[in-house]
A and B are shown apart, each in its own frame.
Chain A
Amino acid sequence: MRTLIRRILDRLFTSVAGLSVLLMSAALVLVLGPILWRGATAVVFQGTVEFRRMQLYEFGRGDAEAVKAEVAQATQARAPVYQMLDEFSEGILVEKLSDRAKDINRSFDDQVAHRVDAGTISSEEGRRLGRAARKLRRTLLDAYDTDDKDEALELLDEVLSSPARKDLKNTVAESLFKQAGKYKRIVESVDLTQRDTYAESLREVSDILRELFGPRREDRAADLAEVRYGVTRADQAARVLDRLLWTEKWVPVEPGKPLVKKRTPRAERFQGTPIAGLFSTVERDLDKMLRPETTVYWRFFTDNSTTGHFFGGVGPEVVGTLMLTALAMAIAVPIGVVTAAYLVECTKDTLVVRILRTCINTLAGVPSIVFGLFGLAFFVLWALPGLDLAHGSSVLAGGLTLALLVLPIIIRSSEEAIRAVPQSYKEASLALGAGGLRTFLTVTLPAALPGVLTGVILSMSRAAGETAPILFTAAVAVGPWPGSLLKPCRTLSYASYDMAVGDRVAQRVPHNQFGMILALVLLVLILNVAAILIRSRISRKLRGG
């Protein structure tokens, strides 16, 4: 009976172990999978012609001739859309029309005056023509102003059938008739009472089109890079296209129940107008207008970024993280190993030493924000300004704070590693006449190296990814390439946080957020793998390989 129970327990143990391995692997896949997958979209994606244009003008990369040719082709494809838009907006935005009419009149007056001076026509004739033109203008403006379709049509017909038409042929004023004709067409198809709403909707459409294709005239002087270009990625384009084609409104469906989001096609609003076809055209020919192609943007990891991480990569952040990690390790590892050596070799197990060890172990569990605040108070506000090194955040302060954070881990693991070195090595070395320090440096420490390296690996990952300690001491959201130890720097962890709680701009580039996280994960992975390889090499040599 007892054998049976033992066998059952054995099986149970094996299955629990297997289950936990499965669970860990699943957790790893579930956590890392999306990060790697979506982060990869920051590097591999369908880039549009706007992307290539942006790379050319912002980063100086790419074949200028090819880009210009592409831009020309895209512009050509977009032309019908803009044409429709222009026509309609001209019809709707009556202030513009009125202004234009006034301008035409003014230049006509100039033309008449010119001709009178030149003697082509008599001043009498000139005055008559001027009066006629002014009358036409007034009628036209009235037509523009009225909301009543019939009245407008009447006024327009009056303009169009004016007897002065043939007199004003071949003059500037002829455009007045053209305007009238155009406006008539619009009036026939459009509900004039809706003019204001049309204007607003038109503005919306125009804004979305600018977001999609970029400004119509190249505006390189605009402050924000994101304004200078259209969508750079096909997935972004799909989202913007969706906003173009559909409007969303919260409508009450049942009384007392929460509102429901209702989607209506935007084209409905412009039904019957010349612009109705714009939407289907854009939807149909978007590929020709944006020319997406598969892009592998390796430089994501080395490029600087434009404001708000809208375009570009995470280069400065990567450098900043590496700098901070390297500095933290350079400070913590020597101090930690020496401390561990002292605790193992030179101290007896007295009460003081036991208290000290408890303090170190407790520090290993202190929340990182406490270290951050300590770093702020001690390094940023007191020590570094006191030494006149840096006033404010600096890489030095951040590195010191991170070093304090990882020091307990290194001390603890190094202590274990040094303690685990067989006493026989030490005895053999001493018996040969080596002193204590010599024995430690040439025999004990090399034998303890794999354990020490394990602590270093764990600490490196922690130092690279921690945000709280550098929040107040070293990290800054906007800044140049990290260079000086005495200035703050941009880091991957802080920038990820900043983007996540940032404004709407960050929400428009989720791929950059994921890409930043991917960069951090890859960085830590590479550091770890390198250190593990080194450690296994050393281990093998120690074991007799």
Chain B
Amino acid sequence: MNATLTENETVTEETTPIPAEETSSVGQVIPAVQARAVHVSAAPRAASTADEPTAPPVIRSHEFSLLYGSKVGVRGITMDIYPQSVTAIIGPSGCGKSTFLRSINRMNDLVPNTRAEGRLEVNGQNVYDRRTHLVNLRQQVGMVFQRPNPFPKSIYDNIAYGPRLQGIRGRGALDGIVERCLRDAALWDEVKDDLKKSALALSGGQQQRLCIARALATEPKVLLMDEPCSALDPVATARIEELIAKLRDTYTIVIVTHNMQQAARVSSRTAFFCLGILIECGLTRDIFTNPREKQTEDYITGRFG
């Protein structure tokens, strides 16, 4: 991770999928994790421009601020998030990463006394506009939370919850959606025998994958993930990261993480927040190898935070 790379080179990471039987013992897993190959290939300049965004941004914020009463959550955030990619937001605790993330789908409305300033647009539509249809917004922008929070219902009912809200009632249609989402979330093989089982009977990692599957059920354009792996063990974390890698070609993913290695592994762009302000935003490899700001460098090298 700390190798210096030239601009021509791209870092692609192949992760060998961890076979199920090896997850039973930690001793066997670590070598498998370490067996990830890091290929450094010299690529022509044209390919490197593939890292530069070509499509217009899905999420734009311009001088966006969110205040809790008189306390500042985030201030003056101006950044873009591009489609079909993974954008990571890193920073020390309490720096406003989650606040910004939750502003995108207006989950901050649950907190009393919040006030937003500036513009925050998703697909060109200002999120904090009075006329914004919240239900539509939240169906377009899915969210996965820090602690897995499946409903106390069956696996099937958890995933079917979103589609049922949209009015899809037919048994066949719902069956199809449930299977698709569970396959996308790499959970199908483990639960296909008993979809009526309670979701709370699953393990932590399975529950989080279920939550991801549940979020995918409404076919969102954007997937927000608020520290999805912080409550999970390393093996489960690795599977979630695989999942993110699989999903990133289809969805726009914004992931908040306090784990820099994770950010470096999964994302193509990274934003660094500190004390409610966006310090730096850019390509992941730039941030991690050649940061512009001193604060960023201090954080990445572990000198504070």
Question: Which residues of A are at the interface with B, using a C-beta cutoff of 8 A?
Answer: 348, 422-435, 438, 442-443, 446-447, 541-545
**A438 x B138 contact (CB < 8 A):** no
Asked if A425 meets B149 with Cβ closer than 8 Å, knowing A431-B138, A432-B138, the reply is: yes
For B43, list chain A residues within 8 Å (CB): none
**B165 x A424 contact (CB < 8 A):** no
Roughly how many angstroms separate A541 CA and B145 CA in the complex, as a whole number?
23
Roughly how many angstroms separate A348 CA and B111 CA in the complex, as a whole number?
11
For B142, list chain A residues within 8 Å (CB): 431-432
**A431 x B107 contact (CB < 8 A):** yes
**B138 x A430 contact (CB < 8 A):** yes
**A424 x B105 contact (CB < 8 A):** no
For B166, list chain A residues within 8 Å (CB): 433
Instruction: Give how many B residues have a beta carbon under 8 Å from the other chain's beta carbons.
Output: 32
Asked if A424 meets B200 with Cβ closer than 8 Å, knowing A429-B161, A433-B139, A543-B152, the reply is: no
Could you give 17 example pairs across A and B, Cβ below 8 Å?
A425-B151, A427-B107, A428-B145, A428-B149, A428-B150, A428-B151, A430-B107, A431-B145, A432-B162, A432-B215, A433-B137, A433-B139, A433-B165, A435-B134, A443-B151, A541-B198, A543-B200
Roughly how many angstroms separate A443 CA and B143 CA in the complex, as a whole number?
17
Roughly how many angstroms separate A432 CA and B107 CA in the complex, as a whole number?
11
| Interface status of B180 (Cβ within 8 A of chain A) | no
| Interface status of B136 (Cβ within 8 A of chain A) | yes
**B201 x A544 contact (CB < 8 A):** yes
Question: Which B residue's beta carbon lies closest to that of A541?
Answer: B198
Roughly how many angstroms separate A115 CA and B274 CA in the complex, as a whole number?
142
CB distance from B59 to the nearest CB of A (A): 16
CB distance from B270 to the nearest CB of A (A): 24
| Interface status of B218 (Cβ within 8 A of chain A) | yes
8 shortest A-B CB distances, which residue pairs? Answer: A544-B200, A424-B149, A433-B139, A431-B143, A544-B198, A433-B138, A544-B201, A542-B152
For A543, list chain B residues within 8 Å (CB): 152, 198, 200
| Interface status of B55 (Cβ within 8 A of chain A) | no
Known: A426-B110, A432-B138, A442-B161. 4 other contacts (CB 8 A): A430-B107, A431-B107, A443-B151, A541-B198
Among B102-160, those with CB < 8 Å from A are 105, 107, 110, 112, 134-139, 142-143, 145, 147, 149-153
CB distance from B205 to the nearest CB of A (A): 16
For B136, list chain A residues within 8 Å (CB): 433
| Interface status of B209 (Cβ within 8 A of chain A) | no
**A432 x B145 contact (CB < 8 A):** no
Question: Which A residue's beta carbon lies closest to that of B137?
Answer: A433
Roughly how many angstroms separate A426 CA and B110 CA in the complex, as a whole number?
10
| Interface status of B211 (Cβ within 8 A of chain A) | yes
Contact with A along B240-257 (1 / 0, CB 8 A): 000000000000000000
**A431 x B198 contact (CB < 8 A):** no
Roughly how many angstroms separate A425 CA and B137 CA in the complex, as a whole number?
19
For A431, list chain B residues within 8 Å (CB): 105, 107, 138, 142-143, 145, 215
For A427, list chain B residues within 8 Å (CB): 107, 110, 145, 149
**B152 x A446 contact (CB < 8 A):** yes
For B211, list chain A residues within 8 Å (CB): 428
**A545 x B145 contact (CB < 8 A):** no
**A544 x B165 contact (CB < 8 A):** no
For A544, list chain B residues within 8 Å (CB): 152, 198-201
Question: Which A residue's beta carbon lies closest to that of B136?
Answer: A433
Question: Which residues of B are at the interface with A, using a C-beta cutoff of 8 A?
Answer: 105, 107, 110, 112, 134-139, 142-143, 145, 147, 149-153, 161-162, 165-166, 198-201, 211, 214-215, 217-218
**A432 x B165 contact (CB < 8 A):** yes
Residue from B112, B152, B153, B218 within 8 A of A432 (CB atoms): B218
CB distance from B295 to the nearest CB of A (A): 31
CB distance from A439 to the nearest CB of B (A): 10
**B162 x A433 contact (CB < 8 A):** yes
Question: Which B residue's beta carbon lies closest to that of A545?
Answer: B198
**B198 x A432 contact (CB < 8 A):** no
CB distance from A22 to the nearest CB of B (A): 37
Roughly how many angstroms separate A431 CA and B218 CA in the complex, as a whole number?
11
For A426, list chain B residues within 8 Å (CB): 110
For B201, list chain A residues within 8 Å (CB): 544-545
For B162, list chain A residues within 8 Å (CB): 432-433
For B149, list chain A residues within 8 Å (CB): 422, 424-425, 427-428
Asked if A432 meets B161 with Cβ closer than 8 Å, knowing A446-B152, A543-B152, A544-B152, the reply is: yes
Roughly how many angstroms separate A430 CA and B102 CA in the complex, as a whole number?
12
Asked if A432 meets B110 with Cβ closer than 8 Å, knowing A543-B152, A545-B198, the reply is: no
Roughly how many angstroms separate A433 CA and B214 CA in the complex, as a whole number?
12
Question: Which A residue's beta carbon lies closest to that of B199?
Answer: A544
CB distance from A254 to the nearest CB of B (A): 79
Question: Which B residue's beta carbon lies closest to that of A540?
Answer: B198
Question: Which A residue's beta carbon lies closest to that of B224?
Answer: A431
For A435, list chain B residues within 8 Å (CB): 134-135
**A430 x B200 contact (CB < 8 A):** no
Roughly how many angstroms separate A429 CA and B211 CA in the complex, as a whole number?
11
Question: Which B residue's beta carbon lies closest to that of A432?
Answer: B162
Question: Which B residue's beta carbon lies closest to that of A434?
Answer: B165
CB distance from B102 to the nearest CB of A (A): 9
CB distance from A467 to the nearest CB of B (A): 40
For B112, list chain A residues within 8 Å (CB): 348
Roughly how many angstroms separate A424 CA and B145 CA in the complex, as a whole number?
8
**B200 x A433 contact (CB < 8 A):** no
CB distance from A120 to the nearest CB of B (A): 109
Roughly how many angstroms separate A431 CA and B220 CA in the complex, as a whole number?
11
For A545, list chain B residues within 8 Å (CB): 198, 201
Residue from A424, A432, A446, A541 within 8 A of B147 (CB atoms): A424
CB distance from A525 to the nearest CB of B (A): 30
CB distance from A430 to the nearest CB of B (A): 7
**B152 x A447 contact (CB < 8 A):** yes
Roughly how many angstroms separate A427 CA and B102 CA in the complex, as a whole number?
11
For A429, list chain B residues within 8 Å (CB): 151, 161
Roughly how many angstroms separate A451 CA and B217 CA in the complex, as a whole number?
31
For A446, list chain B residues within 8 Å (CB): 152-153
CB distance from B193 to the nearest CB of A (A): 17
Roughly how many angstroms separate A541 CA and B157 CA in the complex, as a whole number?
13
CB distance from A139 to the nearest CB of B (A): 105
Roughly how many angstroms separate A378 CA and B153 CA in the complex, as a whole number?
45
Roughly how many angstroms separate A444 CA and B125 CA in the complex, as a whole number?
31
For A423, list chain B residues within 8 Å (CB): 110
Roughly how many angstroms separate A542 CA and B200 CA in the complex, as a whole number?
8
For B217, list chain A residues within 8 Å (CB): 432
Roughly how many angstroms separate A423 CA and B147 CA in the complex, as a whole number?
12
CB distance from B297 to the nearest CB of A (A): 35
Roughly how many angstroms separate A433 CA and B143 CA in the complex, as a whole number?
10
Roughly how many angstroms separate A431 CA and B143 CA in the complex, as a whole number?
6
Roughly how many angstroms separate A428 CA and B217 CA in the complex, as a whole number?
13
CB distance from A434 to the nearest CB of B (A): 5
Roughly how many angstroms separate A433 CA and B152 CA in the complex, as a whole number?
18
For A430, list chain B residues within 8 Å (CB): 107, 110, 138
Question: Which B residue's beta carbon lies closest to that of A431?
Answer: B143
CB distance from A19 to the nearest CB of B (A): 38
Question: Which B residue's beta carbon lies closest to that of A539?
Answer: B152
For B215, list chain A residues within 8 Å (CB): 431-432
Roughly how many angstroms separate A454 CA and B136 CA in the complex, as a whole number?
38
For A424, list chain B residues within 8 Å (CB): 145, 147, 149
CB distance from A425 to the nearest CB of B (A): 6
Question: Which B residue's beta carbon lies closest to that of A426?
Answer: B110
Roughly how many angstroms separate A544 CA and B145 CA in the complex, as a whole number?
20
CB distance from B284 to the nearest CB of A (A): 26
Question: Which B residue's beta carbon lies closest to that of A422?
Answer: B149
Roughly how many angstroms separate A438 CA and B162 CA in the complex, as a whole number?
11
CB distance from A275 to the nearest CB of B (A): 82
